[in-house]
Amino acid sequence: MEGSLPGAQGVVHPIELCLDSLREEVLDVLRNETAYKERIQKLERELSVYKRAFADVDSDLKAAQLAQLETEAVNSRLEKECLAFQQQDKGHRVVMLLDGDGAIFSAQFIGQGQKGGHAAAQLLADATFQHIVTHYGPRVLQLWVYVFFNKRGLTDTFRRAGLAALISNFEEFVMGFNQSTERFLMIDVGNMKEAADAKLKVYLEDEIRLPETFKIVFGGCHDNGYVANLHSQITAGFKEKLILLKSYTEMAAGIAALGLPVLAIPDLFMAQKIGEGTPFSPRDLPRTPLSGNVNLGFGGDPQPTPPPTPRALNPNLPISKQKPGLCTLHYMRGTCKLDSCKYAHDYVLTDAQHEDFGKFMKKMPCPAVLSGGKCAWGDSCCYGHVCPQSPKCFFLKQGKCKFRQANMHAAPANTGAGAPSASG
């Protein structure tokens, strides 16, 4: 047979059988290779789809993770801002409530009329802020003062006690006190019996419950009639908000027994009930007009206070870092009258050091301007009304400048007024 290996006719040679077998196997391999290629191509297409899907999911995951981080950062910032606002709202008001029929301002202030009203308000504000700073730390505060009194009853009492000279100046004193700042009010409640008491009790009940009220300074310590009201507020959980303002030398026994912190402002009020002891007479009234820079003494000829032992500044520390720190009111105004002031009054400063201290204090924002108020001191305020970096304040752009009011970044020539405050 042509094309076959030699052999017997009709007999297939073994080699030919092997070749035929190999041919089929080769064809099977080729057919399988084509199928495998198609399968591989299909798998590659599926893999490409999965890769694209994975890339999309991975991109979405990374975007979600980035968004989560950004959200967490925003939430953290908002929580801090919310906490800051809560802290500010919770404690930015100090409300002083005075029973003006018992906490009667000193004859030395009343006798000076309008100027005396200004001076009494300044001393009251300075001492209150200094007390808050000393015992509770620096903070931005607004001081609200309400004095309720019976004008006719007070003037009759002055007349009976031989202090008729005060009567003609009393209205001017009230005017000066009310004009000292927008939040200071002396209010004649009329001669109805216990009208001032009723006002004081209602204001105490309302003001102490406001979350923005940091402290209530209560000036009715001469009258045991307020014990039940104060006790009620203590029971309601407001004890930490109460401070007693001492007027007479001795407080009413029931008030003293409450164990509340006490603020005493020497020389601001008459130390005894009118008619008890030896009151001031007209000849004891000061002849020199009062001002914010006058050291307000009280009474005839007080015994001189021994001068303190001079203290030298640490030359290795800037004046703002001295231990203990310098009392702002003492060195910048000469008006610190707190018995328990924790800041030093006995450093001896050269003119250059005093000037350095003044420049440092101007870097501290005036508390009332910071809270949107107006300062009775004006340009003579020892605190800053304008950011010293104005108008190119780096921290303002970051929202971190402590001079937070918009008008506190005006040009220095446009400095506004701020409020007397105390800090050492």
- The helix/strand/coil state of 215 is strand
Could you count the other beta carbons within 10 Å of the beta carbon of residue 224? Answer: 15
- Is the omega angle on the peptide bond into residue 324 within 30 degrees of 0, that is, cis? yes
The predicted pLDDT at position 209 comes to 92
Q: For 173-187, 222-236, 368-382, which range has the lowest pLDDT when averaged over its residues?
A: 368-382
- Condensed to tens digits (0 to 9), the pLDDT of residues 279-298 reads 444 444 443 333 333 332 33
- Condensed to tens digits (0 to 9), the pLDDT of residues 138-177 reads 878 889 999 999 998 888 888 888 888 888 899 999 999 9
Whole-angstrom distance, CA of residue 139 vs CA of residue 94: 11
SS (H, E, C) 130-189: HHHHHHHCCCCCEEEEEEEECHHHHHHHHHHCCCHHHHHHHHHHHHHHHHCCCCEEEEEC
pTM of the model: 0.51
